[in-house]
Amino acid sequence: MKHEILMSGKMYAKTMEVLDATYTTHKLWEAPDQKKKLAELAPRIRAAAAGSGKFDAAMMDALPNLKLIANFGVGVDSIDVKAATQRGIAVTNTPDVLTDEVADLAMGLVIAAARRMAFADRYVRDGSWVNKGSMPFTRRVHGKTLGILGLGRIGLAIAKRAEAFGMPILYNQRRKRSDANYRYVADLTEMAKLSDFLMVSCPGGPETARLVNEKVLRALGPDGIVVNIARGSVIDEPVMVRLLKEGAIGGAGLDVFADEPRVPAELLAMDHVVLQPHQGSATPETRTAMGQLVIDNLAAFFANKPLLTKVG
C-alpha cells in the first residue's frame, strides 16, 4: 500500500508526477476547505512536501503525527522551523544543487542593472535608437567592488564569478569565514559604503528582516547598485523604492520582492531597475535536482534511513 503524504503547495510539475506515482498525495491547495481537509488527514499524515506558501505552527498542530516537512527550496523562511523543532518535526531543504544557477542569475543581474540591459532592450524595440540616437551611458562592472551580504553557498559562487570580472570582494555576515580569502567587514553599513554593488544573498525570515535599511542603502550611495537574489524581506522595500526614485541609490537588480508576485507599481515604472519573477533556480536541470532531493528525503524517511539534507 502506498504511503500518504500532504503536499502543502505546488512545486515543479515533474517532481509532483513522481510523488503522485509513489505516494497517495493530498494537495492542500485543491481542497475547498483546507482546515477541514487537514482535520480529515490528521491521523494519517506523517510526512509533507512543502512547495510555495506558508507552513506554520497551526498547520503543524493540525497534524499531530507529522514527523517530516520536505521543502522544495533551500530557503526555509516560509516554514516555521522553530515550531517544527519544538514539535519534533524534521525539516529538509534542497541546498547545493541550485547554488550555481542562482549565482549565474545574480551575476547576470549585476551586469543587467549596471549596463541597464532591460532598458536598452526596450530602447531598441520601441524605436528610440532610430528616433533619438544612442542611449545614455551606463555603469562599469569589471574592477568595481562587490559587497556580499551572506557569503554562504550562493554568496561564494557569486564571489567566484565576480573574481573573473576583476571585482574586489567584501562580505558581511554574522561570522567571519576561516576558509575565504575575501575581506570581512563586520558592519553592514560600512560594507555598503565601501561597495559599488551590494549583493543580498543571506536567508530570509525574521532574523534578517529589513537588514538592508535606509542607513545601509544611503551608504551604498547614488552610484551604488543593490542586487537581491535572497528574499524580498531582507530589504526595506518601500525605503528602497523611495531612494531609487530620489536617486539616492543608483539602481537595482531584483529577483525577489516583499509580497510576490506583487511588485510595487513605482518599480515597474523605473528604467534603472531590472526585475525578475523569482526565477533564480528555475531551469529544468536545477528544478529536477531540487525535486530529486525532496523525493529522496521522503524515501529515506519512510525507509527509516537518515535524512539527506536536514535543516539545523
Q: What gap in Å lies between CA 159 and CA 195, rounded to an integer?
A: 14
State yes or no: residue 152 binds ligand NAP (CB under 6 A): yes
Instruction: Considering the candidates 17, 207, 260, 285, report the single residue annotated as catalytic.
Output: 260
**Sole window of 168-176, 212-220, 290-298, 300-308 interacting with ligand NAP (rule: CB under 6 A):** 168-176
237 catalytic residue (yes or no): no
Instruction: Give the whole-angstrom CA distance, residue 145 versus residue 30.
Output: 48
Residue numbers 239-298 binding ligand NAP by CB under 6 A: 255-256, 278, 280-281
Told to judge if 116 belongs to the known catalytic residues of this protein, a careful annotator would answer: no
Active-site choice (231, 237, 272, 287): 231
Q: Is 167 in the site for ligand NAP (CB under 6 A)?
A: no
Amino acid at 154: I
Active site residue 260: yes
The answer to the question of residue 202 lying near ligand NAP (CB under 6 A) is yes
The correct pick among 201, 233, 297, 309 for binding ligand NAP (CB under 6 A) is 201
β strands within the chain, DSSP E = 4-7, 24-27, 47-50, 68-71, 90-92, 146-149, 169-172, 183-184, 197-200, 225-228, 251-254, 273-275
What are the residues whose beta carbons fall under 8 Å from the beta carbon of 131, sequence distance 6 or more?
none
Q: Which of 9, 51, 147, 150 binds ligand NAP (CB under 6 A)?
A: 150
Q: Give me the amino acid identity at 246.
A: E
Cβ 122 to ligand NAP shortest distance, Å: 23
Grid-cell match 560594507, residue found:
191
Cβ atoms 44, 26 nearer than 8 A: no
Interface with ligand NAP by CB under 6 A: which residues?
74-75, 95, 98, 102, 150-155, 173-175, 201-204, 207-208, 229-231, 255-256, 278, 280-281
What positions carry a catalytic annotation? 231, 260, 278
